Structure 1
Amino acid sequence: MSENIVKEVEEIIEQKREAFFQVSDQIWETPEIRYEEKQSFQCSADFMEEQGFQVERGVANIPTAFTASFGNGGPVIAILGEYDALPGLSQKAGVTEHDPVETNGPGHGCGHNLLGVGSMSAAVAVKEYLEKNNLEGTIRYYGCPAEESGYAKTYMVKAGLFDDVAASFSWHPHYSNSLFHGPSLAVIHSTFTFKGVSSHAAASPELGRSALDAVELMNVGANFLREHMIDEARVHYAITNTGGMSPNVVQRDAEVSYFVRAPHAEQARVLFKRLVKIAEGAALMTETSMDYQIEGACSNLVQNATLDKLLHKNMKALESPHFSEEELELSRKYYQTLNEDDVAFAASLVGKEKAEELAARPLIHEVSPYREAPEYAKGAGSTDVGAVSWVTPTAQLTAATWSFGTPFHTWQVVSQGKTSYAKKGMLYAGKAIASTVIDVLQHPEVLEDAVKELRDREAGPENYVSLLPENQNLPSMLRK
């Protein structure tokens, strides 16, 4: 990547910085949960249309998903964006104490208002560079809803939206500037519904068949299952319908929602089948009926070191964000809101000496050194980018958008979502992705190496098997 290209990308994005900030703030101010992102979807799609992209709305039969394309011919490069919020994380912006805008309302506790717009800034920069330099290639932005447990990208892959894509790029807000290439867990999210017989719990308990009993027995069985599964797997749940408020009525209906996670898709599939057997056993014991619906699923991430190294090189080539003393002081106030466990966990990632330095200056400006993703590292969370990474070479980065140590899915993340330093990190991510995409378009041999690596890792379209049922082509929430 030449200095001239880096400079040109920076200039394009900086010229439109206020427009990007406005869209990001608008999405932050209208937080919407999975598959309900009507305003965020509309705002994002309209913006990309205004920037000269050909926008297709409602792709993969998902009303709040869209693609925005520019260019002609190949290769087609995808940039992924998200804009869904999380339930129960409403929080006022810029306030360093918990203070919801709306009690139990949603909030952007994972920074997706930044994620989507940072990716859009990258797509816009690539488009303008292609126009100015009369280059071939197609840039396509994917407006992806429901990353938070809805896993819309899995449905988009299933619908064939990535069949012509040569490579994909994305990023995620964080408190560091680094590659996002560690392992993730494959996941299956399913809701189990039990139906029994209602009755008077005192006068005729023998006539009742409790659906809530079945839920509780299923949970007991799942607890025993945890003793007999691989250490890296996870099984967790929430009771989403207890069947009523009165103890004097035998609960006719009850349901429980489960996440089953494992390092690889096939491991998650096998573990889920065992969980279904436990649910069937609970129904048998209580003489109730049971049905389950898979809400969503995604595969584990497949690393691509070829694209990772190129992305990291361009991160280093860019000028890292600089922060004012006012920004640093605000970040210190957020750091002081963290509990001892959060502080200790963050320190364990960087070491004691670096943690002490960051406690005094909690905004990271430097780029973390390149390290190969450990082959046998333990995964933690899940992301539907995993599905994309199985069918096309994929690379991601993280950019520092909040104070060091800030945990994901917290009010502190929401509160920092409109800060000036969060927006600096957002544009830094866009610049890094745009520079890398241009690099890839001008050096087709990189794509050849990336595809070869994907196949060497036993991935690729021919090896991808969706964790969704074969006949499930729409998110189940849309069918309810």
Structure 2
Amino acid sequence: AAAVAFREYLKSSGKSGTVRYYGCPGEEGGSGKAFMARAGVFDDVDAALTWHPGSVNAVFPFSSLANFQVAYRFKGKSAHAAACPHLGRSALDAVELMNVGVNYLREHVIPEARMHYAITDSGGFSPNVVQPKAEALYLLRAPRTPQVEEIYERVNKIARGAALMTETELEIRFIKACANVVQNNVLERVLERNFAELGVPEYTEEEISFARAIFDGIAPSERSSDLDQYSAPAGAAGKEAAKRLRERPIADEVLPYGESDFVLPGSTDVGDVSWIVPTCQAWVATWPNHTPGHSWQIVSSGVTPLAHKGMIHAGKVLAAAAADLFDDPSLIDAAKKELRERLDGASYRCAIPDEVVPKAIQPSGR
């Protein structure tokens, strides 16, 4: 919607320029933009504007965690677990030992680091067999890519140790990575101005009723922290806005903007783009207030008019901001200057090895 609207603006104004719409798959689990950044598709862009669905309406003022996603696959030797277990070499034991080792590692990495795992292949369904194969998928995070790289090397050592203890073979498969977001206050203020002018969509009684049903079903202890996080940078004005919105089923105001150095404890492949070109992001309400992330409530909201209205409104905000940038090139110059200052001589380096290609994550053997 934003790209089409801005194209029409160029046509109607008689001005010439280039607008690109990038289809970007797999923001979190796939890091599509990171692969695209590695291929250089953003290298000649002057400014990048994007948005993310959410439970609030706000300009995204934060950085984020860089991450690596890596699969650790162990290969052992099958045997009857009762008759001759001594002949087997358990890949599942290796996975469990690796997980225990990583859990001990948590105390010895920086406090901001996050290490998550899922056992994607436990070897089989029969407990009376020594499992000959098993796999764990790890997601390693930290505020900056070099910090993730250090943690990654330590986790690799733990995995090799687990293989050594169990006499199994280890295969390490790098899946994807993404960089931290480099904020750009110049672009954020342009986005803020247009978001404030456009406000939020109008909602029907039916849409409000749906949101209320979801809202009322979320226990206070399970509520998302988005409202508090996104209002905090604006100080007193943000607190007042959060207070007004706290018990509304839809966050039907644009939160006031404030600059922030906070690192949001999540990851996005927008980070890779932001290292290359000045980038900003809007957070637009497409599901009810306080809805917890990655939940069934979000999935159920995705097919509703509430979500569609949010998506279209995001397009309006981005298109209006793009028009302002096009009409005043000094804003883009200032945004580029800010990016250079924030990078302080550093440059983008994609953490995904050259030989790694995008691949859908699925259980091994399927």
Given the two structures, how large is their TM-score scaled by the length of structure 1? 0.70
In the alignment, the residues of structure 2 paired with residue 466 and residue 249 of structure 1 have an alpha-carbon distance, to the nearest angstrom, of 42
The correspondence for 1:194, drawn from 64, 70, 74, is 74
User: Is 1:449 matched with 2:334?
Assistant: yes
Moved over 3 A (4+): 343-360, 476-480
CA 1:288–1:459: 2 relative to 1, 3 Å: farther
- Aligned AA for 2:289? F
In the alignment, the residues of structure 2 paired with residue 434 and residue 341 of structure 1 have an alpha-carbon distance, to the nearest angstrom, of 38
- Aligned AA for 1:315? F
1:45-194 equivalence runs, <5 A = 121-194=1-74
CA 1:454–1:344: 2 relative to 1, 3 Å: closer
- Aligned AA for 2:309? K
The correspondence for 1:463, drawn from 332, 341, 347, is 347
CA 1:468–1:252: 2 relative to 1, 3 Å: same
In the alignment, the residues of structure 1 paired with residue 288 and residue 2 of structure 2 have an alpha-carbon distance, to the nearest angstrom, of 24
How far is 1:449 from its partner? 0.9
1:35-434 equivalence runs, <5 A = 121-343=1-223, 345=225, 348-349=228-229, 357-358=244-245, 360-373=247-260, 375=261, 377-434=262-319
In percent, how many aligned pairs have the same letter?
48
CA 1:147–1:290: 2 relative to 1, 3 Å: same
In the alignment, the residues of structure 1 paired with residue 264 and residue 223 of structure 2 have an alpha-carbon distance, to the nearest angstrom, of 21
3-state SS of 1:418 partner = coil
Q: 1:106 maps to what in 2?
A: none
CA 1:425–1:476: 2 relative to 1, 3 Å: closer
How far is 1:372 from its partner? 0.3
CA 1:371–1:360: 2 relative to 1, 3 Å: closer
CA contact (8 A) 1:232 1:378 kept: no
In the alignment, the residues of structure 2 paired with residue 420 and residue 392 of structure 1 have an alpha-carbon distance, to the nearest angstrom, of 33
3-state SS of 1:137 partner = coil
Q: 1:68 maps to what in 2?
A: none
CA 1:358–1:443: 2 relative to 1, 3 Å: closer
3-state SS of 1:192 partner = strand
Q: 1:56 maps to what in 2?
A: none
**Matched pairs, number:** 356
CA 1:223–1:146: 2 relative to 1, 3 Å: same
Q: CA RMSD in A?
A: 2.2
Q: 1:475 maps to what in 2?
A: 358
How far is 1:205 from its partner? 1.7
In the alignment, the residues of structure 2 paired with residue 322 and residue 155 of structure 1 have an alpha-carbon distance, to the nearest angstrom, of 38
In the alignment, the residues of structure 2 paired with residue 352 and residue 169 of structure 1 have an alpha-carbon distance, to the nearest angstrom, of 27
Q: Which runs of 5+ in 1 are unaligned?
A: 1-120
How far is 1:435 from its partner? 0.7
Relative CO higher for 1 or 2, CA cutoff 8 Å, sep ≥ 6?
Answer: 2
How far is 1:267 from its partner? 0.4
- Aligned AA for 1:205? P
CA 1:341–1:279: 2 relative to 1, 3 Å: same
Q: Which runs of 5+ in 2 are unaligned?
A: 232-237
Question: What does the per-residue CA deviation read over 1:376-425, in whole Å, with 9 as the maximum and x for residues that have no partner?
Answer: x2431100111111111100011122211011211111222232232222
CA 1:354–1:141: 2 relative to 1, 3 Å: closer
Given the two structures, how large is their TM-score scaled by the length of structure 2? 0.91
3-state SS of 1:138 partner = coil
Question: What does the per-residue CA deviation read over 1:288-327, in whole Å, with 9 as the maximum and x for residues that have no partner?
Answer: 1101111111000000001000111111121432223333
